[in-house]
Chains A and B, each alone.
Chain A
Amino acid sequence: DTEVTQTPKHLVMGMTNKKSLKCEQHMGHRAMYWYKQKAKKPPELMFVYSYEKLSINESVPSRFSPECPNSSLLNLHLHALQPEDSALYLCASSQDAGTGAVNTEAFFGQGTRLTVV
């Protein structure tokens, strides 16, 4: 199984709502990532979890709260978002998590298309 599964595929939420994005992989990867992608732009790194510990937070606003309950699951909790947070949110995983380099490919989910109204 070389899939990264993200749910939901689409999400529309109001600025006062609380919602969560979910990501799951069963490849035994120990590094998991959240990226944000705006239209016609490259993915931008938000968070990295390595061995279930948060290792990188790219100065993401606190209205985005990541969680890694176990080695297969990654969540992104959303609260009080702004319309400019509307984007494609991509989850990825990779095998390499113990060194200072990403020496293997990353596997991406199909993303959650988030619209904040």
Chain B
Amino acid sequence: SQQGEEDPQALSIQEGENATMNCSYKTSINNLQWYRQNSGRGLVHLILIRSNEREKHSGRLRVTLDTSKKSSSLLITASRAADTASYFCATDGMDTGRRALTFGSGTRLQVQP
């Protein structure tokens, strides 16, 4: 089952611009993670933010978490053509005790050179 929704479903920007993706989820969480997937390949972990954190940075990535709104955002600054990929948020199931990640619907990002 899908934990949450991401928006936009697709995003097209020019190189150098910033890209913002949003994720909403339904249950209580211990942490929220963001993953990247190049077309037809495996997922790569980008960043993990714990439920008691509000913001986290890693290189050109900035993630925010608002547990009261059950939402998170991923900002990629100064985008590059190589950032073209699908981006998924993922949550664990703290309420249910599910020891596995459930993924949001994903955002397909296209960065035009």
- Bound pair: A and B? yes
Q: Is A106 in the interface zone, CB < 8 Å from B?
A: yes
Q: Is A100 in the interface zone, CB < 8 Å from B?
A: yes
By the criterion CB–CB under 8 Å, are A90 and B100 in contact? no
Question: With a CB–CB cut-off of 8 A, which chain A residues contact B102?
Answer: 45
By the criterion CB–CB under 8 Å, are B30 and A111 in contact? no
Q: Is A76 in the interface zone, CB < 8 Å from B?
A: no
- Chain B residues engaging chain A, CB cutoff 8 angstroms: 1-2, 30-31, 33, 35, 40-45, 48, 88, 90, 92, 94, 97-106, 108
Question: With a CB–CB cut-off of 8 A, which chain B residues contact A45?
Answer: 100-102
By the criterion CB–CB under 8 Å, are A102 and B45 in contact? no
By the criterion CB–CB under 8 Å, are A48 and B105 in contact? no
By the criterion CB–CB under 8 Å, are B92 and A43 in contact? no
20 A-B interface contacts by CB (under 8 A) = A4-B42, A33-B101, A41-B105, A42-B104, A42-B105, A42-B106, A43-B43, A43-B88, A48-B99, A50-B99, A55-B99, A90-B43, A97-B99, A100-B97, A101-B92, A101-B94, A102-B30, A106-B33, A108-B44, A111-B41
